[in-house]
Amino acid sequence: MGCMSSVAKVRRSNGNCVQVQAELVRVGGGPLGIRLQHGAGGVLVRDIDEHGVVGAWNAQHPSMKVCSGDRVIAVNSVPVDNSWASWCAILAELRKNSVRLVLSPGPVEESPADRAFGTREDSWASLDHLLPEDFMDTMARYTAKQCQVTECSICLEELDPESLVVQLPCSHAFHPRCAESWLTQCPTVKCATCPMCRHHMAPLQMIPRPRPRCSTVGHGQTTEP
């Protein structure tokens, strides 16, 4: 993991908040180490893992730290709002090796719903995780004949018996490009489901429980890149 600086904006000047830009670069596919919450108020930073790329940025740029409570303004020049389409678009950007975050510094005061959510034992169930860049490599590939399929149900094209298809864990098979396009519409573990049976790509139990210091995440769609 790593980070680099290209913008020298001061996070706070005479008590006034200004926008902050962080240039983040993954080395070896490491996690960004940031937990985000998507809701009516847009996208907020809910927690930072000091061992991730964002944590390394913070250690090297103390005046431009990314902090819990910051509001995300843009990711790789993609503007952020509270729509689902915007959420999916920035998740796709967050999967890239180079990520430019523009934020409006917080802190944002937690609502009663946020505080109540953080105290529930089942709050971990609202967490989601980005699909890794190489997730397609984990899926089996066969010929259409071996899978006994004659059509890709995503693009509706007829399959040649010897054409290569990718088989999802539920055993449904599709063109590799079609499967990847479908599964990355909203590229998270919970959203990546089979278009035929809605079977998840991975059991939800595989999503790790949050560390104690991360227990007070907000309600809504929360994702840990």
Residue percentage of the chain with pLDDT more than 70: 72
Number of helices (H), then strands (E), belonging to the chain: the values are: 5, 14
What is the structure's pLDDT at 63? Answer: 86
What is the structure's pLDDT at 176? Answer: 95
Q: What is the pLDDT of residues 134-182, one digit of tens each?
A: 788 888 899 999 999 999 999 999 999 999 999 998 999 999 999 999 9
Q: What is the pLDDT of residues 186-196, one digit of tens each?
A: 888 888 899 99
Q: CA-CA distance, 194 to 92, in Å (whole number)?
A: 19
What is the structure's pLDDT at 16? Answer: 56
- The CB-based long-range contact list for 65-69 (8 Å cut-off, 24+ gap) reads 65/11, 65/20, 66/20, 66/22, 66/34, 66/101, 66/103, 67/105, 67/106, 67/107, 68/106, 68/107, 69/44, 69/45, 69/106, 69/107, 69/108
Bigger pLDDT: 100 vs 221: 100
What letter does residue 139 receive in the DSSP assignment?
Answer: S
How does residue 27 score in pLDDT terms, banded at 50, 70 and 90? confident
